């Protein structure tokens, strides 16, 4: 459930867009959310209290001064830009075993209570498990639920991504097809539940591999910006586009603190 820091109620978010990540391969969605929060300087308005995520606590990941570096963060926090009608849920820890379905239920209940205009889920999927169709063209894909298809379907078709292809359920046996998102965490479940419950959900995902996933996060953030226009457009070159995003201070230790000189 949502717990406000400043007295914000669900009704305050009516008509807003909810942006959130899936805990998926390479943590690409979470890294992209970090870029959005850091670049837009989004203030924290509350947190999402749940026993479905592994508990964690840490220092402020978006600290810019020594003073705000002492602030604490937890596993699921909510940020907002009221002027942009944007709410961002950042998830920082994995799900406790067999708790992901319950999390989807309480999340969608919150979405309905707040009456968000749409939910945008940033995700990723294993690049090595793509089928032949998915090996061609861009590594960016999208999915849209029927509740939002009329309003954003045409827009997404014109952007740099492609609609996620379905695969045969039983190849050579029947013509039934399904969406297959290996490494995507709750992406498929959340999409399926949103379709059945009339939730306006947009999934933006990128095929990737484990490793240095900063380039993947920048690419996914750029793809998100094409549809939501969160920051002003600049040059079309990939280097100039990526430079628009502010890297959060917590990324300095993304791969640890380095090797101690005493080893040598």
Strands 76-81 and 140-144: unpaired
Q: 12-66 pLDDT, tens per residue?
A: 899 999 999 999 999 999 999 999 999 999 999 999 999 999 999 999 999 888 8
Strands 140-144 and 162-163: parallel
How many C-alpha atoms does 145 have within 13 Å on its Cβ side? Answer: 23
Q: Which domain holds residue 111?
A: 12-39+99-231
The share of the chain scoring above pLDDT 90, in percent, equals: 62
**Residue 214 belongs to some domain of the structure:** yes
CATH number at residue 24: 3.40.50.10900
Report how many domains make up the chain: 1
Beta strands of the chain (E only): which ranges?
2-4, 17-21, 44-48, 57-59, 72-74, 76-81, 86-91, 118-126, 140-144, 162-163, 167-168, 177-178, 201-208
Whole-Å CA distances, 22 to 52, 70, 163: 14, 27, 18
Q: 178-226 pLDDT, tens per residue?
A: 889 999 999 999 999 999 999 999 999 999 999 999 999 999 999 999 9
**Residue 114 belongs to some domain of the structure:** yes
pTM score: 0.90
**Residue 84 belongs to some domain of the structure:** no
**Residue 127 belongs to some domain of the structure:** yes
Q: Does the pLDDT of residue 250 top 70, yes or no?
A: yes
């Amino acid at each position: 459930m949502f717990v406000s820091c400043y007295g914000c109620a669900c009704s305050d978010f009516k008509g807003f867009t909810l942006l959130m990540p899936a805990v998926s391969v390479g943590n690409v969605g979470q890294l992209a959310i970090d870029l959005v929060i850091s670049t837009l300087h989004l203030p924290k308005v509350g947190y999402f209290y749940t026993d479905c995520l592994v508990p964690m606590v840490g220092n402020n990941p978006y600290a810019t001064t020594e003073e705000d570096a002492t602030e604490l963060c937890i596993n699921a926090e909510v940020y907002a830009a009221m002027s942009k009608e944007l709410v961002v849920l950042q998830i920082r820890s994995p799900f406790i075993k067999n708790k992901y379905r319950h999390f989807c239920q309480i999340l969608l209940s919150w979405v309905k209570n707040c009456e968000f205009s749409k939910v945008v889920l940033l995700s990723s999927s294993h690049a090595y498990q793509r089928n032949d169709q998915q090996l061609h063209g861009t590594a960016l894909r999208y999915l849209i639920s029927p509740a939002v298809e009329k309003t954003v379907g045409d827009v997404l078709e014109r952007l740099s991504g492609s609609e996620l292809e379905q695969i045969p359920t039983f190849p050579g046996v029947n013509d039934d097809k399904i969406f297959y998102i290996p490494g995507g965490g709750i992406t498929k479940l959340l999409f399926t539940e949103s379709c059945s419950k009339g939730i306006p959900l947009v999934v933006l995902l990128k095929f990737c591999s484990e490793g240095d996933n900063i380039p993947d996060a920048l690419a996914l953030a750029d793809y998100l910006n094409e549809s939501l226009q969160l920051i002003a457009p600049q040059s079309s070159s990939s280097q100039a586009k990526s430079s628009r995003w502010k890297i959060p201070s917590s990324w300095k230790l993304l791969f640890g603190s380095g090797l101690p000189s005493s080893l040598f």
